[in-house]
Amino acid sequence: MPSRAAVAFGALDLRGTDLEDEGFELVVVPVEPGVPTFLMGRGAEVWRAMVSGDPSNLDGEDDTEGVQSTLEDMGIASTDPNHPARLTELAPSWLVSPFHELVYALIAHVCAAQGIQVVFIKGPTLHAQQLRARQHSGDVDCWVRPGDDIRLAEAMRVWGWTPLLSPFTGTGVTHSLTLEAGEWGCAIDVHTRYPGIDIDPSAAFEIALAESEPRVFAGVTCATPRTPFHAIVWALHSVRPFVGAPAGESGIQEAAEALGAAGSETVELAERLNAVYALQIPLQRAFPAAARTYPDARPPADWAWRLTASAPRRHLRALGTVPLRQRPAVLGRLLWPSADVLVAAGEDPGSSWASRSLFRVRRVVKAASALVRRR
């Protein structure tokens, strides 16, 4: 047996990919905060042998111990044969982007260490389930319980991701928290609820967990939605209002096609999730022979402010959905946002205290003027 075990928070065999043409054989996520490590030549050979546990693969070379020691220093080998991140097999990448696949694996490990349950939604799984034609997604989407988004965001900081906070972070207004990519080049969207689902967010997450199935990313088993539940998620994504505009015909048709492809089980799921207001037309298109109407369905709490085009008025309407005890703090953050919030919104407040203060004052005056003009 090799003197050390291969450990990783995700690894991929790059043979047969474009990266092999550049000389890379393996890409491995270390078990300590850092960036993925590419292996080639003797390092890749020794690490493969450590994965298999077969000493015959080491060819009796004199440098084996030194190479294993170097790999341990890199955070991808351990003298503990029972290390929780020990890897015993390698898989090729099934995503368009190997780096994105490694992000799935890393998040799964970080969540496990934090005691956070997570379901990975959208992305390439939609394509694998034949719910979406497009294979690649620019970011990684996951769903956790309310409150766990902040915990996960803080845990991911040491790996190079920065949370893009908003004045509504921590309230029911924001449905996700974006983590800005660092060296990894892949942003993460951490969801705690899904627009169009009008039941308690914690209860919705429990249904997401119950309606999940295992899927392997970079050697790590993760939870992803079963096809019927995932069709609901994708359909809601397609029909939700965006910056004051309701869903267009293409979004409605996209939703209907996804629901139809997933089958009639989606009807019962939409009812359990109280998503029938948002999905009534797509469901009727998908299943015309068994069309249902929901005359008592009411718009979800966030539909009204999402349909408001003016940003200041949209913020005021959203503020009205926040519990009274949270409103003063949220209003304060809206009127006088932190520099981090301004940067996250794509605004440049300047670097000095004076320039930031003047920027905030001008921002408030501009918002007030917009509200007066629209009365």
Looking at 17, 45, 78, the residue that finishes a domain is 78
Q: Are residues 268 and 136 in the same domain?
A: yes
| pLDDT above 60 (res 358) | no
Looking at 290, 318, 349, the residue that finishes a domain is 290
Q: Are residues 188 and 246 in the same domain?
A: yes
Q: Are residues 113 and 60 in the same domain?
A: no
Q: Are residues 157 and 273 in the same domain?
A: yes
What pLDDT is recorded for position 321? 85
pTM of the predicted protein model: 0.87
Is 38 contained in some domain?
yes
Q: Are residues 242 and 360 in the same domain?
A: no
Contact (CB, 8 A) for 177 and 147: no
Total tally of structural domains belonging to the chain: 3
Q: Are residues 229 and 162 in the same domain?
A: yes
Q: Are residues 156 and 268 in the same domain?
A: yes
Is 22 contained in some domain?
yes
Q: Are residues 60 and 172 in the same domain?
A: no
What pLDDT is recorded for position 62? 75
Q: Are residues 277 and 342 in the same domain?
A: no
Is 304 contained in some domain?
no
Is 90 contained in some domain?
no
CATH number, domain at 132? Answer: 3.30.460.40
Is 87 contained in some domain?
no
Looking at 227, 257, 290, the residue that finishes a domain is 290
| pLDDT above 70 (res 356) | no
What pLDDT is recorded for position 371? 47
Is 153 contained in some domain?
yes
**148-161: b (≥16 Cβ within 10 Å) or e:** bbbbbbebbeebbb
CB within 8 Å of 295: residues ≥ 6 apart: none
Q: Are residues 67 and 142 in the same domain?
A: no
Is 250 contained in some domain?
yes
Q: Are residues 243 and 181 in the same domain?
A: yes
Q: Are residues 226 and 138 in the same domain?
A: yes
**Full residue range of the structural domain in which residue 367 is found:** 309-373
| Separation CA 15–CA 39 (nearest Å) | 12
| pLDDT above 70 (res 357) | no
| Separation CA 117–CA 107 (nearest Å) | 11
Task: Tell me which amino acid residue 308 is.
Answer: T
Contact (CB, 8 A) for 25 and 42: no
Is 301 contained in some domain?
no
Contact (CB, 8 A) for 263 and 275: no
- pLDDT, tens digit, 9 for 90 and up, residues 240-264: 998 888 899 999 999 999 999 999 9
- pLDDT, tens digit, 9 for 90 and up, residues 22-70: 889 999 999 999 999 999 999 999 999 999 987 666 766 678 899 999 9
